[in-house]
Amino acid sequence: MFSFVRFEIFRSLRNVRYLLLLVIMPVGLYLIYGRTSNSVPAMVAMAVYAAAGGGLIGSGGGVAEDRLRGWLRQLRVTPLADAHWLTGKIVQGMLMILPGVAGVCLAAVTTGGVRLGAGQWAGLAALLLLGSLPFALLGLSLALTLKGKTAQIGLVVIFFALAALGGIIGSGALPGVLATIQPYLPTYSLAQAGYAIAGGHGPQASGLAVLAGWALAAAASALVLWRREAGAR
C-alpha cells in the first residue's frame, strides 16, 4: 500500500492544476489580503482552504478520470486489495494538504509576523490533518458518482461553494437561510476550530461533532459507492 500511496502522490504533484489551486492560490491570497490585518485568522482561513481543497480534490480528483480510463479496473486485477486502495486514496488526500498548509504557515511566519507557541502549531497541524478526512471522503464519494471531467469540475465547484459558505474566502456574511446552515458546514467548523486553537483555547465540541458527522456520512457513502463500483462491470 505504501508503494501505491507514493505512486499516487507523485502523480498528483505533477498535476499543475493541483499546485495552482491548492498551493499557489491560498499562499497568494494570504500574501495579498492576509498579512496586513488580522494575520492569524487569515492564516488559519487559508490553511483551512488548503486542507479542505487538498482533501477534496487530492483524493477525488484523479479517481473519476481513473475510472473513465480503466486504470481502476486494471488495478483491481492486481493484488492491491480494495480496502488498501480505499485507504491509500484517503491517506493520499490527507497528505496532499501538506504543501498548501505548510506554504501558508510559512508565508504567515515570514511575512505576516505570526508567532504561535509550539503547542498551538502542533494543535493546528493535527486539526488540519484530521479535519481533512471528511473532505477526502467527500471527494472520493463525488468521484465515484460523477464521471471524467464532470467530476473534476464538480469537485472544484463544490470546494469553492463550501469555502465561500464557510467563510474561508469572501466576507463570510450570508443572507437568511444560508446563515442558519453555516454552522453545519465542515469548512466553517474546521475554520472555527482553527481560530480557537490559534487563539490559545480549545475548539468547541459542537464544531468537532459537525466534522465527525461529515466524516461518518462521507465514509458511509464512499463505502457504498465503492462496493457498487467494485461489483459493477
Partner 1 sequence: MKNTVSFTAVSKSYGRVRALDDVTFHVAPGETVALLGPNGAGKSTAVDLMLGLARPDAGEITVLGTAPHRAVAQGRVGAMLQSGGLPADSTVAEVVRLAVRLYGGRRSLADVLELADLTGLAGRRCDALSGGQAQRVRFAVAMAGRPELLFLDEPTVAMDVESRRAFWAAVRAGGTATVFATHYLDEADAYADRVIVLGGGAVVATGSPSTIKAMAGGRTVRFVLDSPDTARLLALPGVTMVSVHGGTVTLMTDDADRAVAALYSSIGGVRDLEVSGAGLEEALLQLTSAQR
Contact 113, 198 (CB under 8 A): no
For residues 2-31, which are near partner 1 according to CB under 8 A? 3-4, 7, 10-11, 14-15
Q: How many CB atoms lie within 10 A of CB 9?
A: 17
Q: How many CA atoms lie within 13 A of 55 on its CB side?
A: 28
Q: Please report how the helices 205-231 and 82-95 are oriented relative to each other, as an axis angle in degrees rounded to 10.
A: 140
For the bound state, the minimum distance from the C-beta of residue 59 to partner 1, rounded and expressed in Å, comes to 15
Q: What CA–CA distance (Å, rounded) separates 127 from 201?
A: 13
For the bound state, the minimum distance from the C-beta of residue 25 to partner 1, rounded and expressed in Å, comes to 20
Give me the 105-144 binding string for partner 1, x by CB under 8 A, dash otherwise.
----------------------------------------
For the bound state, the minimum distance from the C-beta of residue 39 to partner 1, rounded and expressed in Å, comes to 36
Give me the 55-94 binding string for partner 1, x by CB under 8 A, dash otherwise.
-------x--xx--xxx-xx-xxxxxx-------------
Residue closer to partner 1 (CB basis): 14 or 201:
14
Q: Following CA atoms 111, 116, 120, 125 in sequence, which dihedral angle do they give, to the nearest 10 degrees?
A: 20
Strands (DSSP E) contained in the chain are none
Total residues binding partner 1 (CB under 8 A) = 23
Residue closer to partner 1 (CB basis): 70 or 176:
70
229 binds partner 1 (CB under 8 A): no
For the bound state, the minimum distance from the C-beta of residue 97 to partner 1, rounded and expressed in Å, comes to 19
- Spell out a b/e string for 154-192, using b for 16 or more CB atoms within 10 Å of the CB, else e: bbbebbbebbbbbbbbeeeebeeeeeeebeebbbbbbbb
Contact 138, 161 (CB under 8 A): no
Residue closer to partner 1 (CB basis): 5 or 196:
5
For the bound state, the minimum distance from the C-beta of residue 95 to partner 1, rounded and expressed in Å, comes to 17
- Distance between terminal CA atoms of the chain? 24
Where along the sequence are the contacts to partner 1 (CB under 8 A)? 3-4, 7, 10-11, 14-15, 62, 65-66, 69-71, 73-74, 76-81, 231, 233
